[in-house]
Amino acid sequence: MEEKQHYDASDIQVLEGLEAVRKRPGMYIGTTDVKGLHHLVWEIVDNSIDEALAGYCNHIEIIINKDNSVTVKDNGRGIPVGIHAKTGISTVETVYTVLHAGGKFGGGGYKVSGGLHGVGASVVNALSSDVTVTVYKEGKIYEAKFANGGKVVQSLKVIGSCEDNRTGTTVTFKPDATIFDTDIFDYDTLRVRTRELAFLNKGLSITLRDDRTAEDTTGETFMYEGGISEYVKYLNQNKTPIHNEIIHLEGEEEGVMFEVAMQYNSGYSDSIYSFVNNINTHDGGTHEEGVRRALTRIINNYAKRTNMLKNNDESLTGDDVKEGLTMIISCKHPNPQFEGQTKGRLGNSEVRKLADNVFSEGFERFLLENPEEAKIIVDKAMTASRARIAAKKARELTRRKSDLDVVNFGGKLVDCKEKDPSICEIFLVEGDSAGGSAIKGRNSMTQAILPLRGKILNVEKARLDRALTNEEIRTIITAFGTGIGQEFDLNKLRYDKIIIMTDADVDGSHIRVLLLTLFYRFFRPIVEAGHVYAAQPPLFCIKHGNTIKYVLSEEEKEEYLASLKENVKPDITRMKGLGEMDAEELNATTMDIEKRVLRKITVNDVIEADAAFSRLMGEEVEPRRQFIEQNAVYVQNLDI
Ligand code: 1YM
């Protein structure tokens, strides 16, 4: 290995740059938890995707190596190997050691991808303990090596020869264990995003392989000739589409590419996801606005022209026309403006027009050419409209109730005394007897109890108006205080924590999933803001001498028993259900802030969570059976 001997002024600047990344990694990759760790992979993959978008690369490979380093390979042109005019060192080294290098040093090209922070290769280098970059170009194999946060340990040099026509870049990096909370890559996390990138870049093949598990050496390859149309098909696979064709429209103007794919299903919720440069714009923006506006306008025009909508009928609203709609919107923009607190919204105003034009022309043509499908789609929106009007009336009932007296609607909710939501919690408790114990065992200042008697309606199969006829659901809406549908307001939430307290058995799991479905479909911001928890009642009570210990799992039981001295024999009882605990026990094990263990329900990946809910709670039986079979052992830890 060639040790570098001399450092000059520009070297020192470079080292200071990378040192800044190591001092404040959060500024560059968001977090240093497991999310930040995986972010490193996408920073490298982004460079390969750019190369694919420029038209020079059609295959990418991502490999998790045995030592938990990651290798990314592409068959693009290879990072330039010549001396860089400005830095006096090779372009490869420049890209990997100069902060914010990347595209600035390239010769134009169509650069549109870019991770959340778009800072690329040098950041990965700064946060890695070892990096090797190999470039195949002009019959030669070049290699450069870095260590300990981006220090050059081997300048770029030729290490061998290859076939003349072989080109590409291979990068292997090992994250610096002193920087990240964890250095273990998760195959499923990488898999979900890899598949998404393949959907979003039609024709590009991406292989993902885990070499930590020795047996499988081929990995999985994702390649979709149909691009986002196949994404829509995938999202609708456990739903019942109401027309066969997936509508796929695209257009381009001044270097901005816009594309949309859609299909309606028989369900009531919508799954509309938009992307800019392969990044999910979860707060929408101009590309989404253009499509939504055009969708509403075109359907109304068509419905009026065909006399399906009469003159004195109310117009169809944006909500009516998106019921049961699965849609992917993808925009590739050379200069995207991301707005909002989490930079999740596209701001470029010219895109609104482009999206509206491309969508309205294409969609209108589709309706005219396919009158049968058009009728099905308009009928669906009109049914949604009637349901919306009915729901408005039903909602007025819940509103009136909440205006009167929140403490005693139907005598069900036993509210807490405190009114400051930030310290209040509500327990949704399965069954009357557990509800009774919970009421006695609670801290009445801050803990409210809502015993659930009847079955919770499966809202995956019901529209808002029907859901509102369900007694339990009405009570929940009123208790939360947020309202529902268009008038939902997260700021009005009356409790900081919503705690689902059900038995640790099959019925309990079922009620929990029904509640989560309700929250996810009708109160999604509450879930996303992290207000929903599952209580964890203990599984065993272990009496040993004068001490009583409650444990949550078999493993914890074994661990605790192993820690005991062997003189007195411990007395172990299996806890039956919440209903069999007295108030004191319930408080000590499951409710007391000091002693309990809550499981926070998080939505790691909204799109995957959506698919999981359809699978679990939707119309189709077979996918549900498969899901339950595959996940039966994990049900205890179901995290959506
Ligand atoms: C596994 C990671 O980095 N591939 C890659 C990167 C580049 C090129 C090709 C490339 C770009 C250009 C011209 C250009 C990069 N080059 C640069 C820079 N894979 C990976 N493949 N020739 C090759 O943009 O004009 C930065 S990234 F700046 F050197 F041009």
Residues 235 and 379 occupy one common structural domain: yes
Range 161-184 average pLDDT? 97
pLDDT higher than 50, residue 544? yes
Assess contact for 266 and 619: CB atoms under 8 A: yes
What is d(CA 430, CA 438) in angstroms, rounded to the nearest whole number? 10
What is d(CA 189, CA 265) in angstroms, rounded to the nearest whole number? 28
Q: What angle do CA 382, 383, 387 make, to 5 degrees?
A: 115
Q: What tens digit of pLDDT does each residue of 592-604 get?
A: 999 898 988 888 7
In the chain, the number of structural domains is 4
Residues 72 and 208 occupy one common structural domain: yes
Task: Choose one of 43, 49, 51, 96 to mutate for the ligand 1 pocket test, by most ligand atoms within 8 angstroms of C-beta.
Answer: 51
Residues 234 and 185 occupy one common structural domain: no
pLDDT higher than 90, residue 112? no
**118 within some domain:** yes
CA distances from 325 to 233, 240, 264, 381, 468 (A): 12, 11, 4, 10, 22
Query: Please, which pLDDT band fits residue 116 given cuts at 50, 70 and 90?
Result: very low
Nearest to 502 by CA among 601, 406, 422, 608: 601
At which of 189, 222, 255 does a domain end?
222
The whole-number pLDDT of residue 87 equals 87
Higher pLDDT, 504 or 557: 557
Is 134's C-beta closer than 6 angstroms to any atom of ligand 1? no
Our CA dihedral for 418, 420, 421, 424, rounded to 10 degrees, sits at -30
Range 5-24 average pLDDT? 73
Assess contact for 230 and 199: CB atoms under 8 A: yes
Which run of H or E residues covers position 605?
Answer: none
DSSP letters along 463-506, please?
-HHHHTT-HHHHHHHHHH-S--GGG--GGG-S-SEEEEE--SSH
Query: Please, which pLDDT band fits residue 404 given cuts at 50, 70 and 90?
Result: very low
Range 549-567 average pLDDT? 88
Question: Is residue 210 annotated as a catalytic residue, yes or no?
Answer: no
Q: What tens digit of pLDDT does each residue of 282-296 get?
A: 999 999 999 999 999
Residues 320 and 414 occupy one common structural domain: no
Higher pLDDT, 204 or 640: 204
434: domain CATH number is 3.40.50.670
Residues 348 and 418 occupy one common structural domain: no
Q: How far is the CA of 95 from the centre of ligand 1 (A)?
A: 9
Q: How far is the CA of 154 from the centre of ligand 1 (A)?
A: 20
The whole-number pLDDT of residue 278 equals 95
Residues 257 and 153 occupy one common structural domain: no
The whole-number pLDDT of residue 420 equals 95
CA distances from 406 to 33, 476, 504, 586, 638 (A): 41, 11, 30, 26, 32
Range 413-435 average pLDDT? 93
Beta strand pairing call for 70-74 and 247-253: unpaired
Q: Whose CA is nearest to atom 14 of ligand 1?
A: 106
**215 within some domain:** yes
Domain of 593 in residue numbering reads as 399-537+583-607
**639 within some domain:** no
pLDDT higher than 50, residue 444? yes
**124 within some domain:** yes
Task: Choose one of 60, 77, 86 to mutate for the ligand 1 pocket test, by most ligand atoms within 8 angstroms of C-beta.
Answer: 77
Sequence-ordered strand ranges (E) for 228-347? 247-253, 256-264, 271-276, 279-280, 325-332, 338-339, 345-346
**616 within some domain:** no
Is 80's C-beta closer than 6 angstroms to any atom of ligand 1? yes
Q: What tens digit of pLDDT does each residue of 486-502 get?
A: 788 999 999 999 999 99
203: domain CATH number is 3.30.565.10
Question: Is residue 379 annotated as a catalytic residue, yes or no?
Answer: no
Residues 355 and 383 occupy one common structural domain: yes
| Percent of the chain residues past pLDDT 90, beyond the cut | 65
Residues 419 and 493 occupy one common structural domain: yes
Query: Please, which pLDDT band fits residue 52 given cuts at 50, 70 and 90?
Result: very high
pLDDT higher than 90, residue 320? yes
At which of 372, 395, 418 does a domain end?
395
Residues 107 and 241 occupy one common structural domain: no
- Buried b / exposed e over 104-129, threshold 16 CB at 10 Å, is ebeeeeebbbbbbebbbbbbbbbbbb
Q: Whose CA is nearest to atom 13 of ligand 1?
A: 106
Residue 3: both structure tokens together: 């040790």
Q: How far is the CA of 47 from the centre of ligand 1 (A)?
A: 6
Assess contact for 464 and 477: CB atoms under 8 A: no
Is 113's C-beta closer than 6 angstroms to any atom of ligand 1? no
**637 within some domain:** no
Query: Please, which pLDDT band fits residue 393 given cuts at 50, 70 and 90?
Result: confident
Range 38-46 average pLDDT? 96
- Of 415, 425, 503, 610, which residue is the catalytic one? 503
The whole-number pLDDT of residue 10 equals 60
Instruction: Return the minimum-mean-pLDDT range out of 174-178, 220-224, 480-484.
Output: 480-484
Nearest to 241 by CA among 383, 380, 385: 380
At which of 207, 222, 237 does a domain end?
222
**436 within some domain:** yes
**329 within some domain:** yes
Is 71's C-beta closer than 6 angstroms to any atom of ligand 1? no
Residues 117 and 147 occupy one common structural domain: yes
Question: Is residue 505 annotated as a catalytic residue, yes or no?
Answer: yes
pLDDT higher than 50, residue 104? no
Task: Choose one of 48, 79, 95 to mutate for the ligand 1 pocket test, by most ligand atoms within 8 angstroms of C-beta.
Answer: 79
Residues 422 and 355 occupy one common structural domain: no
Q: How far is the CA of 197 from the centre of ligand 1 (A)?
A: 19
- Computed over every residue of the chain, the mean pLDDT equals 88
Range 284-312 average pLDDT? 96
Question: Is residue 320 annotated as a catalytic residue, yes or no?
Answer: no
Query: Please, which pLDDT band fits residue 465 given cuts at 50, 70 and 90?
Result: confident
Q: What tens digit of pLDDT does each residue of 617-631 get?
A: 887 777 777 766 665
Residues 292 and 404 occupy one common structural domain: no
The whole-number pLDDT of residue 464 equals 85
Range 193-209 average pLDDT? 97
pLDDT higher than 50, residue 108? no
pTM equals: 0.83
pLDDT higher than 80, residue 326? yes
